[in-house]
Structure 1
Amino acid sequence: MNNLPVIRSKWRTAILAVCFFFLYAPMLLLVVYSFNSSQLVAWESFSLRWYSVLFHDDAMISAVTLSLSIAAMSATAAAILGTIAAVVIVRFGRFKTSTGFAFMLTAPLVMPDVITGLSLLLLFVAMANTFGWPADRGMLTIWLSHVTFCTAYVAVVINSRLRELDRSIEEAAMDLGATPLKVFFVITVPMIAPAMLTGWLLAFTLSLDDLVISSFVTGPGATTLPMQIFASVRRGVNPEINALASLILFVVGLVGFIAWRLMAREEQQRVKNIRKVHAGE
């Protein structure tokens, strides 16, 4: 019986190691092969050849620039709209169409990408035929499409955070004469800032990763990074993709680490403030 905790600890460690292996071993292998001089999936010698090829590939660089631009704009718009939607659901109480509003807001979460992409394509075609806008499908239509489904994810994240907030601070500020709008920007927004950052990062990742919806709503003049990679991989294994993926992993890991540190510091400060308040009582 005394060995039971030790056995459980070993099993947990083994299961954790297996899970991490399946999650990160393919990524590690991809990074390793990005430094392979051979074009085949067989190690030959260490080389930076494919990184050089990548930086001289105008089509790939253009796709990366377009995808990053769309992802940043989509995440920003989704963060704003998602915050507004979450505030309406949580703080405005029950109203006549609240159930339908909440359902329609979360519908993109369970909607297949093929259905979403086809629906948006038909919408853009109908709008172009009726109003003459958008005249061409490209960066604008991709951005509008990404904002559509990213807003749902951001709203869910911020919704859960808003429900956990202690409203006594906001009520105290309004009792002291602050307007609801000022309370929202001075008190509520700083408290939900970690959730907004999380939602922004989630929306950025989803937009950058999207292939199906972008394929439906784009035109011949706009090719996103997933579309470019998919077209390259269909022609065969391209080590240039390994180099690009390695750079993306590095940047995403760095940004994720910085965001985690900021949120951890914010949470520690929040805990300290709560302890100070309780100590003062």
Structure 2
Amino acid sequence: KGATLDWYVKLLGNTGLMQAAAHSLLIAMVSATISSLLGTFISMALHRWRFPSRKVIHTSLFVMMMSPDIVIGISLLVLFMAMSLPLGFWTLLMAHVTLCVPFVAITVHSRLLGFDRHVVEAARDLGAGEYEVFRHVVLPMVFPAVLAGWFMSFTLSIDDVIISFFTTGPTFEVLPLRIYSMVRLGLKPEVNALCAIMILVTAAAVFLSQRLLKEKP
């Protein structure tokens, strides 16, 4: 049989895959939003203030970015077990935020390094307060980087397998783990259709992220 869209239609009737896809989208969107807020705050704090642990935090961000997923996953699993936290939505969310925050922080911080501080000083000389300076000067400058960090975090979260394997439980199954379990038992056409959709979504997120990063401040 030639090319057909029948398997995409049948995919909608697979409640297990659809539920796992909904879980993955929920985790990806929430973790990307939280990571963008935390990463932006960290990057602006590192850029604006000089405090004793500044270099330690900056180095830690790079270490977390370069750490293998299996190391992060096992470390977080040990932490959650020590805290007696049941594995599920909240542990998975914390794990994905931990994974994504360094990428957002470094992305926004790189944008801030090219920021002309004279613009801020000029705004203050004209009588603008701290809130007005942030809202009308700083935020428009860094927003493309924040949005790029959001898309990057979304991509990292929705495609993650290893960290999700260690930090989620049977009550909250995400799509990559569902696909992995189905592939082990035999690949079905619905899985191929779903993988094609995931590739398109991921590629679109990466493309938008790169376009936003190329925008001049």
Task: Give TM-score scaled by structure 1 length.
Answer: 0.71
Partner of residue 117, structure 2:
167
2:95 aligned counterpart, secondary structure: helix
1:137 aligned counterpart, secondary structure: coil
Structure 2 counterpart of 1:224, one-letter code: V
CA 76–54 in structure 1, closer or farther in 2 if over 3 Å, else same: same
Where do 1:163-202 residues align within 5 Å?
A: 163-202=113-152
CA 142–189 in structure 1, closer or farther in 2 if over 3 Å, else same: same
Cα offset, 1:52, TM superposition: 2.4
1:221 aligned counterpart, secondary structure: coil
2:83 aligned counterpart, secondary structure: helix
Equivalent residue for 2:197, pick from 247, 255, 273: 247
- Contact 2:36/2:150 (CA < 8 Å) preserved in 1? yes
What is the Cα-based RMSD across aligned positions, in Å? 2.1
Supply the distance in 2 between the matched residues of 1:260 and 1:102 (Cα, whole angstroms). Answer: 23
Equivalent residue for 1:86, pick from 35, 43, 46: 43
Supply the distance in 1 between the matched residues of 2:204 and 2:159 (Cα, whole angstroms). Answer: 18
Equivalent residue for 1:158, pick from 97, 101, 108: 108
Cα offset, 1:185, TM superposition: 2.4
Partner of residue 102, structure 1:
58
Structure 2 counterpart of 1:142, one-letter code: L
Partner of residue 22, structure 2:
65
CA 143–263 in structure 1, closer or farther in 2 if over 3 Å, else same: same
CA 148–261 in structure 1, closer or farther in 2 if over 3 Å, else same: closer
Larger radius of gyration: 1
Partner of residue 228, structure 1:
178
Instruction: Report sequence identity in percent.
Output: 39
Partner of residue 46, structure 1:
3
Cα offset, 1:261, TM superposition: 7.0
Partner of residue 77, structure 2:
121
Cα offset, 1:229, TM superposition: 0.8
Equivalent residue for 1:112, pick from 47, 68, 84: 68
Structure 2 counterpart of 1:238, one-letter code: K
Structure 2 counterpart of 1:45, one-letter code: G
Stretches of structure 2 that go unaligned for 5 or more consecutive residues are: none
Per-residue Cα deviation, 1:145-185 (whole angstroms, up to 9, x for no partner)? 10011000011111110000111111111112222233122
Count of residue correspondences: 217
Supply the distance in 1 between the matched residues of 2:60 and 2:209 (Cα, whole angstroms). Answer: 30
More relative contact order, 1 or 2 (CA 8 Å, 6+ apart): 2
Structure 1 counterpart of 2:134, one-letter code: F
Cα offset, 1:260, TM superposition: 6.9
Task: Give TM-score scaled by structure 2 length.
Answer: 0.91
Supply the distance in 2 between the matched residues of 1:213 and 1:219 (Cα, whole angstroms). Answer: 12
Cα offset, 1:259, TM superposition: 6.6
- Report whether the alignment pairs 1:76 with 2:26: no
Supply the distance in 1 between the matched residues of 2:210 and 2:106 (Cα, whole angstroms). Answer: 19
Structure 2 counterpart of 1:48, one-letter code: L
